[in-house]
Amino acid sequence: MLEIKDVFQYNGIGLLPSPYVSGHKNKKGFFHSSTDRCNENSQVSTEQDLCYGVPKEFLYWFSGFSDAEGNFLITIDRNYVRFRFKICLHIDDMEVLNTIKSHLKVGRVELESSRNRCFFIVSDYDAIKNVICSIFNTFSLHTSKRLDFENFYEAVMIKNKKKIPMRIWKE
């Protein structure tokens, strides 16, 4: 039985330790146990447990949260390809989106009060490529949303005219 002492508070967000995420059992748990790809080739400070300048615990949480609530969109408008990552929540949870925005330092939070919902949206190509894709390549998604991300990432790399690193597909 999960006790209240097991909850890790991080900036006002209750995070649950492995193997629970938001009260549900997760295949790999809260902490990534196999390989820590953040240490291989990303901006890491192991002393402060940071990755991309953000605490790793937050990035693990963000990955799991995005697995449930995030979506990836590619649109073509007059031969121009646009990318968007979006999280949609009820208006009561707007502070969660503000916390995500403040930690990642990208995107915007929008409010649609007529439908009682709010959004965290990243549509800047550089932010998509350098922040969102980097996070999900390091802190993997675990549901079928991973397949959506792989297609999204492939399109980002095609636009960027770079070869797709095959290591992200093999796990």
pLDDT over 90 at 77, yes or no: no
For 133, the 3-state DSSP assignment is helix
Q: How do residues 1-39 score in pLDDT, each as one tens digit?
A: 444 455 555 555 555 444 334 333 333 333 333 334 454
Given pLDDT bands bounded at 50, 70 and 90, which one contains residue 157? very high
State residue 63's pLDDT score. 96
Phi-psi label, residue 29: left if phi above 0, alpha if psi -120 to 50, beta otherwise: left
pLDDT over 50 at 47, yes or no: no
State residue 137's pLDDT score. 94
pLDDT over 60 at 154, yes or no: yes
Percent of the chain with pLDDT over 70: 64
Asked if 118 and 93 touch (Cβ cutoff 8 Å), the reply is: yes
Alpha carbons within 13 A on the beta-carbon side of 57: 13
State residue 20's pLDDT score. 37
What domains can be seen in the chain, in order of their start residue?
4-168 (3.10.28.10)
Average pLDDT over residues 77-103: 94
State residue 52's pLDDT score. 66
Average pLDDT over residues 112-124: 96
pLDDT over 70 at 68, yes or no: yes
Asked if 22 and 14 touch (Cβ cutoff 8 Å), the reply is: no
Asked if 139 and 62 touch (Cβ cutoff 8 Å), the reply is: yes
pLDDT over 60 at 151, yes or no: yes
pLDDT over 60 at 57, yes or no: yes
∠ CA 65-57-87, rounded to 5°? 25
Query: Whole-number mean pLDDT of the chain?
Result: 77
For residue 19, cis peptide bond before it (omega within 30 degrees of 0): yes
Asked if 42 and 135 touch (Cβ cutoff 8 Å), the reply is: no
